[in-house]
Structure 1
């Protein structure tokens, strides 16, 4: 059935984004478009083939399958396909076939490019990459690599204090990094000289190592400016050395922080770090929803927003640990408090429960355990007061199972790896997101490295973990629709946590396991997986784009809830979305389903 140009023009007026184009542009599209009349079961293109253009379905039904033959989408009237492959490299990343006799309008590549170059709404529709949005370049979002002073002044540990003081005077600086062959040993400041050297009248030949702060807190060039502010506010320090692979590469001081962007979140951190009770802290954490609104409204990317919000939870946890020790006395043996779940991954939003555990030094005795049970209860109760509610699954340090000596933790992980039953899969998934928060961090280092090595080399365990990771599926329905929640309080909504974000979190965890990657943050895992060759560049780009879109949609939904006076949640009614947003969100879900299919078929990389 041939289509007239007027029929094509009328049709385009009913399809986004062409419905927003002027009449003369639509007429030009109609003149340049190709028409394809295909029979049922006809293959339109195969994996890796050169695409003839973007397809619009005027009539019929088309099925899209991935490289493994899994159906990722069934498309009907007014749906389009082929855009992603056409703009990426001109090659098909999927297969397409007609399920019944169909009439297709094909927009040739040169026409698509003209439309993208000339019309912003078309450009936005086709270029779905949100990962290249820079957002506001402020202190909060700038990498430390941009903020730090490079080649900081240094001295050797045996340098006499007067010589170090003259060096600071001559260079007009307030601190010196003490190094040995570029390895950072400590930092000495003018305050150290006045309070330790001058005030105590130490001899002139006193070495700088005698008054320096040994093993100072450091950050890496890839951390962000808010990390600097939050540490400075919490610890009351004004100088932070920057190290890469153990080597000193720069320093950030208070005088370097000339922007204002992170003041709001940093102020919450400061107030929590000086609070004297959980109730006082709760008055601060109650401001998190409004902070969420401000951060999203300012255009911050989702990983920046969740990082800033997680920093507040980390500070609250450390402050509660301090208050607990003030109440209970010093701990009988070293311990480490760790977070898992969204806090462990630094991905907290406006609604979070608590997931945590305690690792104790192996010298702990039965007589010491009541102390740590009391400490766990104090901190967990305090977090609940602050709005980080008790974990429904009791994944908390108050559960004796998750408050154990390091040797027991090793037994846990070894047992889960050796016998990956359903409970082991679930627990291992949670525990692979562990991140130290407060205490003796050394307790975790060897455990993490050894566990990743043992787990990644056990093919049966990896297979079970992959199967477990595929239990959360994107909410894709047939005919370009969504599979919404079927019943209960959130009926007819999309669960953007369990069916949106969690599938990507699970994939990131699998890639980290396969590559023995130590990152806990999902976005960092995906990037590290690409760098390690576990995930192909195109697969990483597609999955990052999809994740960014879903995660930002989730935050925008929470912001709308807060603005309306309701509490933030993860349940988005599709009716809240425009046609434009629905189209892109569904495409993001299709990408995730495709990546899940690749992992499920034993293909860690997607070309």
Structure 2
């Protein structure tokens, strides 16, 4: 039976259905039905096929996981059941009434049609859903969707003349060089012109004599924007896509013609060419506007933060170049690394700087002055660009974090051997290290060997687990959200320290437990699930929870920027709908449950 007039009126008062026209509401009321349930009745159970979305008109519904642990209690105006529908899988939870309850039941086909036809409904139910293909920014496409697969190749001993003939016949501007061991290098038309035509190089010499060995490459997980940023910053026109030693494809400037107007690449280009920090700052001042554009375009949170972090990376490298131009060439090799949110590629509209320097073991006491000046130049420049100084002084300007490689190895060994509170904190930060500029060989296998040693030390791992539980999700009594009790942010949620950070900390623990290499939090959770450190269901729950929390944080910052305010991490839950608060609380419950599992030594939920 279709909904009654009263039930249709109720539905029209519930967000997001209040965004529908009268005609659409009438059509929706015709295909939905209302059902009454007695206390203790199952609406659906774990493993049951997902067939409907449910909206509570009156009563109460308890939702439990597969181990019968309560996830949430839902009251009137809340929905449930969309989880399995959006994933296209069987129910992973059980929904049971706790009192006399009336539900509006929406068939799955109607739910899908509603999402496809109405953007506000789609955004409301699943913020992870990508924009429609006709709206999607080319910049955020996986590189595999744009690259030329199976590019033209030749062997290293192929005569230059023959390789040139192949390029001419195919109408291409480059040829990749490969042998039985895999990808070796690349030769472009510029190489042909410079070495052979202008330089007089023997055209019958092997192509390996003019190829660029070990060119800049990207992996298949890269985005189109990563290619564009690399081209703009490094001044190259061809980027091979490789996985290990295997050549998968190539992206050229011609391939990127449609992507020339991408704003993140424009900022990267301006920063890469800036004459000084002040000019750089004029570009980075547009990052808030970029964040709004990326969020409103429907990009996933990890794409938004990655694009924003790219700008910080470029600014750092440009400042290093400018510093060397002013101070002279470095006396020994060095490597500038980012840690914290930049290291994890998770910067938002609010970011400080966390960085350090690894110096060659060949350095002497006399070299300290140079690197102290280099660190000050770069850190001051980053501050000018809006990346304010780290409150905890976790910066290369601190002599403690500007040391030779051997000292860094001693640091890590000491932290692992003596996991006191300070060591836990420092190790947590340093496990997020990512090389930015300089001699990458100094990082070498430092992370891998440190991770291996840490994983084998059960006492250190136990301390890291304990440290990961210090930041708790904001869950209050009586199924509420625990807001800040006093001060400037009274009655608000801290979406950073009580929202994102608990998941970041869990990601580090899983990295230790599984000896995993990713640094980005979402990549860590995904790798942990694939490695079996997280169960399939536990991993899916935590990924979904993290996506919701991180997306809510970015949406909040974008809304603040649009309102003319500086973005921050403090959200008033009263600004959320009942549905949004309920699902945000569910996400926090998942995080808390996973913390409890790790803290008890049971690992992830099965």
**TM-score, reference length from structure 1:** 0.88
Cα distance between partner residues in 2 of 1:381 and 1:494? 32
Residue in 1 that maps onto 2:316: 317
Q: Is the 1:147–1:225 Cα contact (8 Å) retained in structure 2?
A: yes
Please give the residue correspondences for 1:446-457 in structure 2 after superposition, counting only pairs within 5 Å: 446-457=445-456
How many angstroms does 1:262 deviate by? 5.8
Residue in 2 that maps onto 1:36: 39
The structure 2 residue matched to 1:131, chosen from 128, 131, 145, is: 128
Instruction: Provide the aligned C-alpha RMSD in A.
Output: 3.4
Q: Is 1:583 equivalent to 2:582 in the alignment?
A: yes
Q: Is the 1:307–1:347 Cα contact (8 Å) retained in structure 2?
A: yes
Residue in 1 that maps onto 2:550: 551
The structure 2 residue matched to 1:105, chosen from 85, 101, 126, is: 101
Task: Indicate how the Cα distance of structure 1 residues 205 and 450 shifts in structure 2: closer, same or farther if over 3 A, else same.
Answer: same
Residue in 2 that maps onto 1:536: 535
Return 253-262 or 550-559, whichever deviates more: 253-262
How many angstroms does 1:278 deviate by? 0.9
Residue in 2 that maps onto 1:414: 413
How many angstroms does 1:392 deviate by? 0.2
Cα distance between partner residues in 1 of 2:209 and 2:534? 49
Return 127-136 or 202-211, whichever deviates more: 127-136
Q: Is 1:306 equivalent to 2:330 in the alignment?
A: no
Residue in 2 that maps onto 1:237: 236
Cα distance between partner residues in 1 of 2:604 and 2:124? 23
Task: Indicate how the Cα distance of structure 1 residues 603 and 375 shifts in structure 2: closer, same or farther if over 3 A, else same.
Answer: same
Residue in 2 that maps onto 1:41: none
| 5+ residue gaps, structure 1 | 39-43
Residue in 2 that maps onto 1:424: 423
Residue in 1 that maps onto 2:439: 440
How many angstroms does 1:586 deviate by? 2.0
Aligned residues: 591
Deviations 1:263-299 (A, max 9, x none): 2111111111111111111111111111112222222
Please give the residue correspondences for 1:31-70 in structure 2 after superposition, counting only pairs within 5 Å: 32-36=35-39, 58=58
3-state secondary structure, aligned to 1:606:
coil
Deviations 1:195-233 (A, max 9, x none): 222222223433322222221100011100001111111
Task: Indicate how the Cα distance of structure 1 residues 72 and 401 shifts in structure 2: closer, same or farther if over 3 A, else same.
Answer: farther
Deviations 1:244-264 (A, max 9, x none): 122111111101113237621
How many angstroms does 1:578 deviate by? 2.4
3-state secondary structure, aligned to 2:227:
helix
Residue in 1 that maps onto 2:197: 198
Cα distance between partner residues in 2 of 1:479 and 1:382? 48
Cα distance between partner residues in 1 of 2:292 and 2:245? 38
Q: Is the 1:344–1:434 Cα contact (8 Å) retained in structure 2?
A: yes
Cα distance between partner residues in 2 of 1:294 and 1:9? 36
Cα distance between partner residues in 2 of 1:321 and 1:578? 47
How many angstroms does 1:331 deviate by? 1.3
Return 372-381 or 470-479, whichever deviates more: 470-479
3-state secondary structure, aligned to 1:445:
coil
Cα distance between partner residues in 1 of 2:92 and 2:197? 72
Q: Is the 1:56–1:104 Cα contact (8 Å) retained in structure 2?
A: no
Please give the residue correspondences for 1:170-209 in structure 2 after superposition, counting only pairs within 5 Å: 170-181=169-180, 183-209=182-208
Return 167-176 or 203-212, whichever deviates more: 203-212
Q: Is the 2:187–2:210 Cα contact (8 Å) retained in structure 1?
A: yes
Return 209-218 or 382-391, whichever deviates more: 209-218
How many angstroms does 1:479 deviate by? 3.1
Task: Indicate how the Cα distance of structure 1 residues 207 and 86 shifts in structure 2: closer, same or farther if over 3 A, else same.
Answer: closer
Cα distance between partner residues in 2 of 1:198 and 1:137? 43
Task: Indicate how the Cα distance of structure 1 residues 262 and 441 shifts in structure 2: closer, same or farther if over 3 A, else same.
Answer: farther
Residue in 2 that maps onto 1:276: 275
Q: Is the 1:85–1:91 Cα contact (8 Å) retained in structure 2?
A: yes
Q: Is the 1:138–1:261 Cα contact (8 Å) retained in structure 2?
A: no
How many angstroms does 1:412 deviate by? 1.2
Task: Indicate how the Cα distance of structure 1 residues 402 and 104 shifts in structure 2: closer, same or farther if over 3 A, else same.
Answer: farther
Cα distance between partner residues in 2 of 1:476 and 1:350? 25
Q: Is the 1:86–1:92 Cα contact (8 Å) retained in structure 2?
A: no
Deviations 1:53-77 (A, max 9, x none): 96959568x8777788987556667
Cα distance between partner residues in 2 of 1:478 and 1:8? 32
**TM-score, reference length from structure 2:** 0.88
Larger RCO, structures 1/2 (Cα 8 Å, 6+ apart):
1
How many angstroms does 1:7 deviate by? 11
Cα distance between partner residues in 2 of 1:437 and 1:564? 34
